[in-house]
Structure 1
Amino acid sequence: MKLHIVPARTGLEWVRLGIRVFWRQPMALAALFFMTMAAMSLVNMLPLVGPAVALALLPSATLAMMVAAAEASQGRAPTPALLLVAFRTGKQRLHAMLMLGALYAVGFLCVMGLSALLDDGQFARVYLGGQPLTREVAESGDFQAAMWLSLLLYVPLSLLFWHAPGLVHWHNVPPVKALFFSIVACLRNFGAFMVYGLSWIGVFLGAGIAISLVITLLTAMGLGAGLAGGLMVATAMMLAAMFLASVVFTFRDSFEAPGRDLGDNQGSDQNAPPAASD
């Protein structure tokens, strides 16, 4: 496995490819994203352990979207079975993905725990426990300090896990090494990831402005707030699916292509990241 250093402009290409591959299979990718979110929401409802288990499933959900985007980029329609791709690639990789999920859950809960030192856990209860967010709470200085601290601490956590699911799945890298290689790759390609992040912010802001204009028009036409709300939710889901679809391209360009024995559980490269010609 060899790390690739890419120019900063590649970040914009990753965004373009994510949007492009989504529109190759919009229904399949949107449905898979919806199913992953629905599954995690159901798990989150389990008493006591629900939130922690849902967090532990996030790397597997990310991998499912990465593999689905790879399938779509190669002209194949992603299937709902990809939702379980992390659990169908042999015991060794299954254990590695479970370990990765556990490490992510612990890391995220540590972030929430540190933020609780500033606001007595108010932000954590809102974010994890579903406690209603009132205007009074949102305007609290302690709550805002906890929120910004969580955001600051989550950045390195996300870099640690950005490439880790792909490294475990396609390169068979042990979880701890995958975390190390992931953050090194992100930092070595800092310029590309900065452009990538800013480009996605631009896409989300542009879509938000466009949807606001459409909603204003619908309201003026008297079509009701229900349709406007549905449009907002659908747009948010599509944008999130596009974003997750683009992750596989950041992985593909950051590391040398895996061998054929690191593909799916049949030992082929069917689920390998898309070729660089995409």
Structure 2
Amino acid sequence: MKLHIVPARTGLEWVKLGIRAFWRQPMALAALFFMTMAAMSLATMIPLVGPAVALALLPSATLAMMVAAAEAVQGRFPTPAVLLVAFRTGRQRLRDMLVLGAMYAVGFLAVMGLSALIDGGQFAQVYLGGAPLTREMAETPAFQGAMWLSMVLYLPLSLLFWHAPGLVHWHGVPPVKSLFFSIVACLRNFGAFTVYGLAWMGVFLLGGLVISLVAGLLAVGGLTSVVGGIMVGAAMMMAAMFFTSVVFTFRDCFEPPEQPQSQALHSSPPDSAPGPDGTV
């Protein structure tokens, strides 16, 4: 496995390719993203351990979207079967993905625990769905301090797990090593990931502006009943585009794995995804 160093402008290409790949199969990719979020939401309802189980599912959900995006750019229709791709590639890979999910849950809960030292756990309870957010609560210095601390601590956690699902699934890298290789790849390609993050911020801001304008026009026209649904649907679609782009960051940061052709259908290795110029 060889690490690639890419120029900063590649970050913008990742965003473009993610959006382009999404619009190849928009209904399928949006539906798959919705199903992954729905599964995680249902997991939170499990008594006592629900939030931890939902967090542990995130690496597998990310991998499912990566595989679905790779399927879309290869001209195949991503079916709901890709949601289980992390659990269908052998006992060893299954165990590694479960370990990876458990490590992510522990890391995220540790971040929330540290934030609780500032505000007594109010932010953690709101973020994990255990308490409603009020304006008075959001304006308190303690709550804001906990929120900013969580954001700062979550960044290295995100970099640790950014490439980890793909490394475990496509390269067979053990979970702990996948975290190391993931953060090294992100840091060595810091320029590209900075451009990538800024570009997505611009996309979300522009999308939010357009959605707000459309919602305002609908409200003026007396269609306030559909405004909420449109805003939620548009937000989910933009989030699905973001997750669709993740596979391109992985593909350009690592040497393509060698896989038997028989595994291609269910694994969809990213080496066959289109390059920065859009070619296959």
Q: Partner residue of 1:127?
A: 127
User: CA shift at 1:267, angstroms?
Assistant: 3.3
Q: What per-residue deviation string (whole Å, max 9, x for no partner) do you get for residues 172-226 of structure 1?
A: 0000000000000000000000000000000000011111111111111112x22
Distance in 2, Cα, partners of 1:39 & 1:216: 32
Q: What per-residue deviation string (whole Å, max 9, x for no partner) do you get for residues 109-132 of structure 1?
A: 000000000000110011113300
Q: Partner residue of 2:242?
A: 243
Out of 268, 272, 276, which is 1:271 matched to? 268
Q: Partner residue of 1:19?
A: 19
User: CA shift at 1:257, angstroms?
Assistant: 0.5
- What stretches of structure 1 move > 6 A for 4+ residues in a row? none
Change (3 A) 1:230 1:129: closer
> Which residue identity is paired with 2:239?
A
Q: Partner residue of 1:67?
A: 67
Answering whether residue 187 of structure 2 is matched by residue 190 of structure 1, we say no
Distance in 1, Cα, partners of 2:230 & 2:263: 42
Instruction: Give the alignment's TM-score, normalised by structure 2.
Output: 0.96
Q: Partner residue of 1:227?
A: 226
Distance in 2, Cα, partners of 1:28 & 1:180: 33
Q: What per-residue deviation string (whole Å, max 9, x for no partner) do you get for residues 37-72 of structure 1?
A: 011100111100000000000000000000000000
Task: Decide which moves more: 126-135 or 75-84.
Answer: 126-135
Aligned pairs for 1:32-43 (under 5 A) are 32-43=32-43
Distance in 2, Cα, partners of 1:222 & 1:275: 44
Q: Partner residue of 1:152?
A: 152
Distance in 2, Cα, partners of 1:187 & 1:133: 35
Distance in 2, Cα, partners of 1:32 & 1:209: 26
> Gapped runs of 5+ residues in structure 2?
none
Distance in 2, Cα, partners of 1:268 & 1:29: 19
Distance in 2, Cα, partners of 1:43 & 1:34: 14
> Gapped runs of 5+ residues in structure 1?
none
SS of 1:112 mapped into structure 2:
helix
User: CA shift at 1:275, angstroms?
Assistant: 4.5
Q: Partner residue of 1:255?
A: 254
Distance in 1, Cα, partners of 2:236 & 2:263: 33
User: CA shift at 1:268, angstroms?
Assistant: 3.7
Q: Partner residue of 1:8?
A: 8
Q: What per-residue deviation string (whole Å, max 9, x for no partner) do you get for residues 116-161 of structure 1?
A: 0000011001111330000110001000000000000000000000
Distance in 1, Cα, partners of 2:13 & 2:33: 22
Instruction: Give the alignment's TM-score, normalised by structure 1.
Output: 0.96
Q: What per-residue deviation string (whole Å, max 9, x for no partner) do you get for residues 93-124 of structure 1?
A: 00000000000000000000000000001100
> Which residue identity is paired with 2:98?
L
> Which residue identity is paired with 2:269?
A
SS of 1:129 mapped into structure 2:
coil
Answering whether residue 213 of structure 2 is matched by residue 205 of structure 1, we say no
Answering whether residue 85 of structure 2 is matched by residue 88 of structure 1, we say no
Distance in 2, Cα, partners of 1:51 & 1:213: 35
> How many residues are treated as equivalent by the alignment?
274
Q: Partner residue of 1:175?
A: 175
Task: Decide which moves more: 91-100 or 209-218.
Answer: 209-218
- Identity in percent: 75
Q: Partner residue of 2:216?
A: 216
